[in-house]
Homo-oligomer: A and B are copies of this chain.
Amino acid sequence: MTKNDYYSQENHGPYSLFDLGDFNLEEGGIIKNCQLAYSTFGSLNSKKDNAILVSTWYSGTSKIMEQVYVGVERAINPNKYFVIIVNQIGNGLSSSPDKVKNFAVASFPKVRIGDDVRAQHTLVTKYFGLSSLALVVGGSMGAQQTWEWAVKYPDMVKRAAPIAGTAKNTTHDFLFTKTLNEAIMSDPAWDCGAYKNPNAVIDGLRRHADLWSVMGYSTEMFKKELWRDLGFSSAEEFCEGFTQAYFAPMDPNNLLTLAWKWQRGDVSRNTDGDLKQALGRITAKMFVMPINTDMFFPPKDCEDNQKMVTNSELRVIATDWGHLGLFGMDPLYIKQVDQHLHDLLDTPV
């Protein structure tokens, strides 16, 4: 098995590892010696009430969340808050198909958003000794984890900001994710997940990236040629040099593990399928923050969820960059996110 250096401390660290021991999963599997990778910024105050938990999206790690969302002049300010960025299971830093030696690479067990949130809860309560979180925030799959946190542990979550993500995945989003999976799995080099060298699945990863180019940005972004802001001279060069290049070094089975989880994100699993009851459990002050041009977590779907949360506001972020505006390439996106998070953090709870 060829080693994949992409997920190294050099590229994505420094990060620490928290041992969960043998971790039982909702679907019945077990991850032996399960580890959560996390990074922290700032310090916990004496009252232990200044912790912010940041979750990660599909393909993302703590590194990009730090780079795009954390800073001393930002809403998530490490001079003021104790920021914990937790990598979700399967993302290549926490326990993942590509690194857990107890599993054949293709037989990593099915993991759910609820498993991640339970694991993260153990980290913040048992290891950091916290009994409350001033804010839980994340984008896309990170938003799915944010919703789950607010429903599962309402007493702990004081504020919550799911960005560009829903509480219960829609059929349409499920189908989009299915096409991502099929792009990878249809590559003969994927070999039913038994590939020896992840880089061999490059054709599948390239097609997978092209689907992101269609659904991840927006018509307007391409029409306005905003890729020029990132230094590219043609749309084709941007799709290859940015989107394809971003996904190329990743492990296909890691992505498939995350995608399976993404497709089935659903807080109503906590309440026997009753979404209204699940969202009714939320006591956090919540800002639901969809992106106006998002093609698969569209504002309407996020708003439908928001309306079921008592103490909530809909704060739509405007950017032509679509869902992948989450990467922060639009300075106005950053500005809006910070304004909303400032407002939210300034709200007494």
Contacts and interface: CB of A to CB of B under 8 A. Distances in A.
Interface of A: 170-173, 175-176, 178-179, 182-183, 186-188, 203, 207, 210-211, 213-215, 217-223, 235, 239, 295-296, 298, 300-301
* Chain A contact residues: helix, strand, loop or mixed: helix
A118 to B, nearest CB: 29
Contact of A175 (B171, B172, B207, B213): B213
B300 A172 contact: no
A298 to B, nearest CB: 6
A322 to B, nearest CB: 10
Number of this chain's copies in the assembly equals 2
A28 to B, nearest CB: 23
Contact of A182 (B210, B218, B219, B235): B210
Contacts of A298: 219
A165 to B, nearest CB: 14
Given A213-B175, A214-B175, A207 B186 contact: yes
Contacts of A218: 172
Nearest to A243: B175
Contacts of A223: 170-172, 301
A300 B186 contact: no
Contacts of A186: 186-187, 203, 207
Contacts of A188: 188
B301 A172 contact: no
A53 to B, nearest CB: 29
Contacts of A175: 210, 213-214, 222, 235, 239
A219 B173 CA distance: 8
A300 B220 contact: yes
For the complex of A and B, 4 pairs with smallest distance between CB atoms: A171-B222, A172-B219, A172-B222, A171-B235
A293 to B, nearest CB: 11
Nearest to A239: B175
A162 B335 CA distance: 40
A295 B215 CA distance: 9
Contact of A170 (B171, B219, B239): B219
A211 B207 CA distance: 12
B182 A214 contact: no
Contacts of A176: 214
Indicate the member of A213, A217, A221, A296 with the most B CB atoms within 10 Å: A213
Indicate the member of A179, A213, A221, A235 with the most B CB atoms within 10 Å: A179
A170 B222 contact: yes
Nearest to A211: B179
A114 to B, nearest CB: 23
Nearest to A185: B207
A215 B213 CA distance: 13
